């Protein structure tokens, strides 16, 4: 016997509780979440309620009027590039299931447009591990491209399907899309490769770690793990400001004038003593290690600075 469909109040309550659960489980989207947790850990009205389907990218429970979650699986063969999910107007895109507009899952996602209900997007960063992005809203449908238009809570009211979006708004929407999708996915993939440790000092507290770009994102740097370094916040700031450099051979260099300063234990132990020392952590897999060419180009900029 099929489950009974929830009324609007109950469905709204479920979505709110899902978002609260994800906020707690991911520390407000800072940490990734496993498939197992998405399948087993969320409960509603005292009963387990799955947030993801193992064989389907769209989760539209029978009890609900519209899709609850969407998922992009991890693809080991595909390099993550957030531009794949961003349209010319800056809004995110999510592909239909197949090409049939009347396929059940596509109908379920389309129903979320009129209902204006929040969903969660689970983006694969490793086998059975996801970055949760939420809340997101389905705000449009593009039948010729077989895809849906997706917005965050900050941009959902800015979508204008029948007129070009103004340049200023497009830049804002694009930036928001990158911040909400690119940055957390890139961070999680890089920290996973470095096993949640700073490459320079091996600090292991995830909340104090960043994913630093070697070739800066603002300069068009790729969102590939090989263009990233897991760095604690001190070493990230030092790297970005050219106080600290890293050679193509993974040796740490500290700017000469800093080596001569006397300014307490942080400078001495955190920076000066790392000079001419190798990185303490590098990824186990060769494909995830920092690209030598990118390191060389960035190190040249460090020397000039």
- Among the candidates 155, 180, 205, a domain finishes at 180
Query: Is 2 inside a domain boundary?
Result: no
Minimal CA–CA distance to 279: which of 235, 226, 243, 242? 235
Query: Is 188 inside a domain boundary?
Result: no
Pick the more confident residue, 156 or 239.
239
| 88 pLDDT higher than 90 | no
Give pLDDT tens digits for 141-152.
999 999 999 999
| 26 pLDDT higher than 60 | yes
Whether 129 and 35 map to the same domain: the answer is yes
| Mean predicted confidence (pLDDT) in 272-296 | 95
Whether 163 and 209 map to the same domain: the answer is no
- Answer positive or negative: Cα dihedral of 126, 127, 131, 133: positive
Whether 141 and 221 map to the same domain: the answer is no
Give the pLDDT score at 1.
54
Which residues form the domain of 199?
194-304
- Among the candidates 120, 153, 180, a domain finishes at 180
| 263 pLDDT higher than 60 | yes
Question: What 3 state SS string does 134-176 have?
Answer: EEEEEEEEECCCCEEEEEECCCHHHCCCCCCCCHHHHHHHHHH
Query: Is 127 inside a domain boundary?
Result: yes
Give the pLDDT score at 185.
92
Whether 283 and 212 map to the same domain: the answer is yes
Which residues, in sequence order, are CB contacts of 76 under 8 Å at separation 6+?
127
Give the pLDDT score at 79.
59
Q: How many domains does the chain have?
A: 2
Pick the more confident residue, 20 or 224.
20
Whether 290 and 204 map to the same domain: the answer is yes
Pinpoint the alpha helices (H) of the chain. 8-25, 35-40, 104-115, 167-177, 183-193, 233-240, 256-259, 265, 292-304
Beta bridge partners of 137: 151
Pick the more confident residue, 157 or 223.
157
- Among the candidates 147, 180, 213, a domain finishes at 180
Give pLDDT tens digits for 52-69.
998 899 999 999 999 999
**CA distances to 84, 247, 295 from 300, in Å:** 31, 9, 9
| 191 pLDDT higher than 90 | yes
Whether 230 and 296 map to the same domain: the answer is yes
Give the pLDDT score at 83.
52
Whether 176 and 198 map to the same domain: the answer is no
Pick the more confident residue, 137 or 219.
137
Among the listed ranges 31-35, 76-80, 192-196, 276-280, which one has the minimum average pLDDT value? 76-80
């Amino acid at each position: 016997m099929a489950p009974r469909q929830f009324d609007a109040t109950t469905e709204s309550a479920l979505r709110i509780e899902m978002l609260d659960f994800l906020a707690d489980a991911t520390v407000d989207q800072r940490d990734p979440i496993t498939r197992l947790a998405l399948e087993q850990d969320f409960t509603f009205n005292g009963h387990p309620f799955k947030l993801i389907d193992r064989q389907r990218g769209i989760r539209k429970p029978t009890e609900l009027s519209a899709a609850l979650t969407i998922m992009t699986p991890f693809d080991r063969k595909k390099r993550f590039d957030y531009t794949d999910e961003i349209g010319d107007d800056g809004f995110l895109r999510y592909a239909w299931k197949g090409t049939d507009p009347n396929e059940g899952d596509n109908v379920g996602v389309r129903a979320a447009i009129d209902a204006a209900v929040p969903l969660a997007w689970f983006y694969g960063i490793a086998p059975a591990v996801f970055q949760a992005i939420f809340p997101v809203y389905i705000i449009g449908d593009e039948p010729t491209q077989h895809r849906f238009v997706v917005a965050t809570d900050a941009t959902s009211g800015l979508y204008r399907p029948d007129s070009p979006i103004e340049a200023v708004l497009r830049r804002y929407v694009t930036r928001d899309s990158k911040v909400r999708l690119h940055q957390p996915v890139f961070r999680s993939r890089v920290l996973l490769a470095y096993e949640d440790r700073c490459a320079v000092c091996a600090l292991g507290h995830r909340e104090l770690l960043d994913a630093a770009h070697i070739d800066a994102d603002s300069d068009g740097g790729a969102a590939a793990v090989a263009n990233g370094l897991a760095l604690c916040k001190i070493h990230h700031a030092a790297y970005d400001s050219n106080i600290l450099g890293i050679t193509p051979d993974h040796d740490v260099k500290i700017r000469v004038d800093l080596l001569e300063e006397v300014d307490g234990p942080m400078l001495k132990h955190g920076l000066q003593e790392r000079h001419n020392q190798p990185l303490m952590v590098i990824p186990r897999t060769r494909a995830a290690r920092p690209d030598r060419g990118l390191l060389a180009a960035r190190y040249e900029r460090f020397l000039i600075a």
